[in-house]
Structure 1
Amino acid sequence: MSSPASSGDRDKVVSKLPGQLRQDLKIRAAQHGIEIQAAVEQGIRDWCALASATEPVDTAGADSFSTFLPPGQWETFRKVAADRSVSLIQGLAQSVRLWLDSNPAPDVERPSVTRRVIVCNQKGGVGKTAITAGVGEALAESPNALHAVRVSKALAKALRASDAAAGEDEPLEIESLPGLGMRVLLVDFDPQCHLTNQLGAAPLPMNGDSLTNHMAGDPKGDLRDLVVPIDEETFGNRLHLLPACNDAFLLDVRLSAVRAREAALERALAPLEADYDVIIVDCPPSLGLSMDAAAYYGRRRDGEKPGQSGALIVVQAEDSSADAYELLTTQIDDLRDDLQIDIDYLGIVVNLYDSRRGYIATSSLQGWVDIKNPRVVGLIGDLKEQKEAVRMKQPLLSYAPKSQQAIGMRALAREIS
């Protein structure tokens, strides 16, 4: 049936469609960046132009489905369906299936050079590990499913100091988007093993092989053998972890005897790069030789566009983060000058934010926003879901995929991708 209710110059049409077909239509339309009504319109047009009906579709359990079509199209469709002796529900299902078959899911766009994201700040406790895991999870989510994402203009609104100072909790603008489908390696570069433990993996034994051994030029095997998958059911074997080992406490000492030590991390991870689109390194709270090696690994390579790889700096909205930020950026800038390399800043993430903490929090947030270069690319609230996920040793986006923190992580991943 159709009704006078319209969207622009279109007529509202109400029929039925099987649940799985409706879900496939919703996801595929989002993958191609078009409205569902445009997809249905094209499907009906193509179906009506066929010489005969296509293969029948199982419409058992079909539920109510409504859309908007150009004036007159539904009447034409009804006539064609009657001529072919098929029900309107069956004809609509065949039309949607025809559009899906004619518009397959697009391939995931993969970078020509493996992207390297260095998550850093020499101050501990700012949540570098949570951001490393959250961004990696968001990048690896299925491209054949829809996920709640906070849109950019909502982030901009959240960053307005006046709103933050007033403590207004305006509803976020949320959009359902396909996952990015990236192949992601998370590297736990911190001897404290926080990332390893939080994701439910086991730290590497001291008497075995480790990333430290490979960086120091004393490998005991293939680094690939140390990599473990993370929640294959949710991330489809796209998210992997290189666990940490406590021997990384000795890394700076061991690196002091290594030639071209700033390239030690790159030499160790280079054999793994062909397997991944993005490698994210969770750095220790340190300004030593290991941080030099991490920053060097994130440098812009020949043929790589600016902003594809580089440093993602995690801070909190309080004064000590500002002091640590100055020390970190000074170290990175000195490395740039000494080695004549380009190290891009991917942005600043203000983590564990809570405007209820008053003037210190809101004024500090304004200070980060005022920097401009690098700009604030993420604002993640101090909410319970992240803490619960850590306690459960599960990825946040598996444990609480609809939480505000998960929605913010997806927005952050898109801001830097």
Structure 2
Amino acid sequence: MASPYPDGEREKVASKLPSALRQQLKVRAAELSIDIQDAVTTAIHDWQAKTGPLPTVDTAGADSFSTWLPAGLYDQFKATCSTRDVSYTQGLAQSIRGWLDSQAGETPPDTGIPERKVVANQKGGVGKTSVSAGIAQAAAEAGKTVLLVDFDPQGHLSDQLGVEQIGPGEDSLVTHMNAEGRGDIRDLLVTIEGERFGKRLQILPACFDGFLLDAKLATNRVIRHKETALERALEPIESDFDVVVIDCPPSLGMAMDAAIYYARRRENERQGVSGMVIPVLAEDSSATAYTMLSQQIESIVEDCNIDVESLGLVVNLYDSRRGYVATSSLTAWKNLQDPPVLAVIGDLKEQREAVRKVKPLLQYAPLSEQAEAMRQIWSAIS
């Protein structure tokens, strides 16, 4: 449907678009310094001018999307959809997909800065570890060199991938964050085997001393700016990787401050590739935890004068059979729109089975719905 713009030249259009496509549109428009409404206008005009059959776009999970179009264009668009016998959602998705493909241009110059995906939520049990592992595997599968950092002292990520945690007092991420590292941090990395990953996926294991990290940072007189500790520790190995994924602890302490700072957009870095990925559940306590994390991010942004992007939400362990609380919570997450919902992952068995088998999900069940969701998330944030 459409409603008039105050000056009459445009009308507000309400339609639907897959969240991943919406995020890609937002990022590309920002890179080109153009308004999203102008990008969509061009996309629809180009789509209308094309002849012959067009590839179908997967619109599963498409959610509400609105923009302003020149008056009358949406009526023309709907008429073209009818002529081509496609839904309005499919027509819009084809338009946006075509525009994105036409605007791909050259690959941005290599800045030597890896993409940094910080997976966080103050609430435990929302699936931070499974999402961290999943998107790291999807990136490695796609040909990227990936560093997966187990930043949670509980070490669930290390355990799930069959990697031994680092013992107390040994050289670790914690010692390097506290300027006490005794060796090359590269020596701590472990390669995750699997044909799909081609030795491109490495993990920095958890360490038991991580439970003391906040206290160590608080009392460390050498480090003046505590929020930079994670970045300084990882800086020597960043150039070895295309992507760094951080699996954060369920905490709002100094360790989380350092992770948020690490996710900041750096100079000359394009938008939409580094930032926060936030797994949530479709229930009320998850919304409370999200609010607390958002406030912490805002505080770090203000105190350090930095830009930290929220790349999106992942609604995990969703089961509509849990009734109104689940379905209404899912609707509320989707209605946020910024950040967008990157994927809705059902409460399925494959991830639990992969954990029991001590195998990466994309190796254990590469064709599963959960594995496809991880690829969807990676595609949306890369």
TM-score between the two structures when normalised by the length of structure 1: 0.64
Q: Tell me the distance in 2 between the aligned counterparts of 1:314 and 1:361.
A: 15
Match of 2:178 among 210, 216, 221: 216
Tell me, yes or no, if structure 1 residue 379 matches structure 2 residue 341: no
Tell me, yes or no, if structure 1 residue 343 matches structure 2 residue 305: no
Structure 1 segments (4+ residues) deviating >2 Å: 107-113
Match of 1:401 among 344, 359, 366: 366
Q: Return closer, same or farther for 1:108/1:339 CA change in 2, 3 Å cut-off.
A: closer
Match of 1:183 among 138, 145, 148: 145
Is this contact kept in 2: 1:138–1:409, CA < 8 A?
Answer: yes
- Deviation of 1:255 after TM superposition, in Å, equals 0.7
Deviation per CA, 1:195-254: give whole Å up to 9, x if none: 000111110121311000000110021110000000243310111100000100000001
User: What value does the CA root-mean-square deviation take over the aligned residues?
Assistant: 1.4
Q: Return closer, same or farther for 1:352/1:108 CA change in 2, 3 Å cut-off.
A: farther
Q: Give the secondary-structure state (helix, strand or coil) at the position aligned to 1:279.
A: strand
Which residue in 2 is equivalent to 1:120? 120
Which residue in 2 is equivalent to 1:139? 139
Which residue in 2 is equivalent to 1:292? 257
Tell me, yes or no, if structure 1 residue 236 matches structure 2 residue 198: yes
- Deviation of 1:108 after TM superposition, in Å, equals 9.6
Which residue in 2 is equivalent to 1:321? 286
Is this contact kept in 2: 1:203–1:245, CA < 8 A?
Answer: yes
Deviation per CA, 1:381-409: give whole Å up to 9, x if none: 11000000011111000000011100111
Q: Return closer, same or farther for 1:210/1:271 CA change in 2, 3 Å cut-off.
A: same
Deviation per CA, 1:267-291: give whole Å up to 9, x if none: 0000111110000000000000000
Deviation per CA, 1:82-134: give whole Å up to 9, x if none: xxxxxxxxxxxxxxxxxxxxxxxxx9988532111100001000000000000
Is this contact kept in 2: 1:121–1:313, CA < 8 A?
Answer: yes
Amino acid in structure 2 at the alignment position of 1:402: L
Q: Tell me the distance in 1 between the aligned counterparts of 2:243 and 2:347.
A: 26
Is this contact kept in 2: 1:208–1:220, CA < 8 A?
Answer: no
Q: Give the secondary-structure state (helix, strand or coil) at the position aligned to 1:117.
A: strand
Long gaps (5+) in structure 2: 1-105
Which residue in 2 is equivalent to 1:169? none
Query: Which segment is superposed worse, 122-131 or 252-261?
Result: 252-261
TM-score between the two structures when normalised by the length of structure 2: 0.70
Which residue in 1 is equivalent to 2:330? 365
Is this contact kept in 1: 2:169–2:209, CA < 8 A?
Answer: no
Task: Report 1:9-408 matches (<5 A).
Answer: 112=111, 113-141=113-141, 180-256=142-218, 257=220, 258-408=223-373
Which residue in 2 is equivalent to 1:59? none
Q: Give the secondary-structure state (helix, strand or coil) at the position aligned to 2:343.
A: strand
Q: Tell me the distance in 2 between the aligned counterparts of 1:303 and 1:211.
A: 27
Percent identity among equivalent residues?
A: 56
- Deviation of 1:355 after TM superposition, in Å, equals 1.2
